[in-house]
């Protein structure tokens, strides 16, 4: 039962007459796309899938065009670093350093490691991005993101992220975030806290009922009012122009040594594995470009 039909769904709800809010996502297909793109092991599918699911939720909470949130987890484990970027609409991309690593003890967090940090960079498309960093709690991702919400954003939050992998690949993936809003009553806080146990079954509920049914099961008793829904997806926004800008930032000397030593270069995108090729002439043009604005040539 692993035919993935249809599309993923991301739903926003107001809860308890505006005292809390929830975001629920069915991220089954976008996690499957990440697994295909990067040939992820089962453990890497779970860890990166969780991070991508979190990035989709956080990305869709940013409203401005051109804004993005980048989540970087460095836990010191055998899987290396994990990176996920989320944008409005729940559009995500991500990668993991060692996609083939599997957890020996079956705990994805031990492959990620927990001796390190989660860094969150929020670029709102204007001025300096906001950067927050918290020590990892467990490397299991949801707990780590919750710590970020608590310490860096100071918003009391419950978050569950789940990716179920079976013999034939991803069976279901999803997540749910519930946040208290300013002015929530003690009673509202208590009703949300008492629902915490329901959240962790999110992937199973999505597998059984789909996203709307899962929301009914998990937050149905909190007077949910649907505010909006979007169709999240895995999509890379890389382009040749973007790679050109990155090459220019290396500086003329570096580009010239690439011309001399390799007669050109090939830049692979970490997020989609697309290859962008530059001939010696292409690089010469870029080297000329990087001399122009600041006049920093080293002759």
Q: How far is the CB of 274 from Zn ion (least distance, A)?
A: 5
Q: Does 272 bind Zn ion (CB under 5 A)?
A: yes
Q: How many helices and strands (H and E) does the chain possess? A: 10, 13
Among 137, 189, 269, 280, binds Zn ion (CB under 5 A): 269
Pick the piece of the chain touching Zn ion (CB under 5 A) from 151-159, 162-170, 183-191, 263-271: 263-271
Q: Is 111 in the site for Zn ion (CB under 5 A)?
A: no
Do strands 68-74 and 82-87 pair parallel, antiparallel, or not at all (unpaired)? antiparallel
Write the CA distances from 150 to 87, 144, 145, 157, 198, integer angstroms: 22, 10, 9, 7, 20
CA 219 – CA 226 distance, rounded (Å): 11
Euclidean distance between CA atoms 162 and 256, whole angstroms = 47
Give min distance, CB of 271 to Zn ion, in A: 4
Please say which residue, 147 or 269, places its beta carbon nearer to Zn ion. 269
Burial grade of 261 (CB within 10 A; 0-12, 13-18, 19 or more): exposed
Q: Does 267 bind Zn ion (CB under 5 A)?
A: no
> Restricting to residues 217-236, which ones interact with Zn ion according to CB under 5 A?
236
**Minimal distance, residue 35 CB to Zn ion, in Å:** 16
Using CB under 5 A as the binding rule, whether residue 238 contacts Zn ion is answered as yes
CB distance 123 to 68 below 8 Å: yes
Q: Is 147 in the site for Zn ion (CB under 5 A)?
A: no
| Helix, strand, coil % in the chain, rounded to nearest 5 | 40, 30, 30
Query: Which residue lies nearer to Zn ion by CB, 32 or 202?
Result: 32
Q: What is the 8-class DSSP label of residue 293?
A: T
Nearer to Zn ion, 131 or 246 (CB): 246
Q: Residues 282, 289: contact at Cβ < 8 Å?
A: no
Are 187 and 223 in contact by the 8 Å Cβ rule? The answer is: no
Number of residues that bind Zn ion (CB under 5 A): 6
CA contacts within 13 A on the Cβ side of 281: 0
Would you say 235 or 284 has its CB closer to Zn ion?
235
* CB of 4 or CB of 269, closer to Zn ion: 269
Minimum separation from the CB atom of position 81 to Zn ion (A)? 17
Q: How far is the CB of 18 from Zn ion (least distance, A)?
A: 39
Mark 16-55 with x for binding to Zn ion (rule: CB under 5 A) and - for no binding. ----------------------------------------
CB of 158 or CB of 236, closer to Zn ion: 236
| Range 81-100, binding Zn ion (CB under 5 A) | none
Interatomic CA distance for residues 256 and 265, integer angstroms? 11
Quick check: 271 binds Zn ion (CB under 5 A)? yes
Which residues form the interface with Zn ion (CB under 5 A)?
236, 238, 269, 271-272, 274
């Amino acid at each position: 039962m692993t035919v993935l039909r249809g599309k993923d769904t991301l739903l926003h709800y107001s809860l308890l007459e505006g005292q809390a809010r929830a975001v629920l996502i069915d991220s089954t297909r976008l996690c499957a796309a990440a697994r295909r793109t990067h040939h992820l092991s089962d453990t890497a599918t779970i860890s990166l899938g969780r991070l991508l699911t979190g990035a989709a939720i956080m990305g869709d909470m940013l409203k401005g065009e051109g804004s993005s949130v980048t989540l970087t987890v460095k836990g010191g484990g055998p899987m290396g670093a994990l990176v996920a970027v989320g944008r409005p609409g729940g559009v995500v991309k991500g990668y993991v350093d060692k996609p083939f690593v599997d957890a020996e003890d079956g705990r994805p967090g031990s492959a990620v490691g927990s001796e390190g940090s989660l860094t969150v960079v929020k670029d709102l498309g204007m001025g300096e991005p906001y950067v927050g960093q918290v020590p990892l709690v467990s490397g299991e991702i949801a707990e780590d993101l919750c710590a970020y919400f608590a310490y860096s954003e100071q918003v009391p939050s419950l978050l569950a992220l789940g990716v179920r992998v079976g013999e034939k690949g991803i069976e279901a993936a999803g997540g749910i975030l519930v946040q208290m809003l300013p002015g929530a009553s003690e009673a509202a806080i208590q009703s949300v806290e008492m629902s915490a146990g329901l959240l962790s079954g999110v992937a199973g509920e999505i597998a059984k009922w789909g996203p709307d049914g899962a929301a009914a099961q998990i937050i149905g008793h909190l007077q949910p009012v649907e505010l909006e829904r979007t169709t999240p997806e895995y999509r890379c926004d890389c382009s040749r122009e973007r790679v050109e800008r990155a090459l220019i930032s290396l500086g003329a000397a570096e580009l010239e040594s690439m011309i001399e030593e390799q007669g050109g270069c090939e830049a692979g995108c970490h997020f989609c594995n697309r290859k962008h090729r530059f001939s010696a002439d292409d690089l010469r043009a870029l080297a000329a470009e990087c001399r122009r604005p600041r006049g920093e040539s080293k002759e």
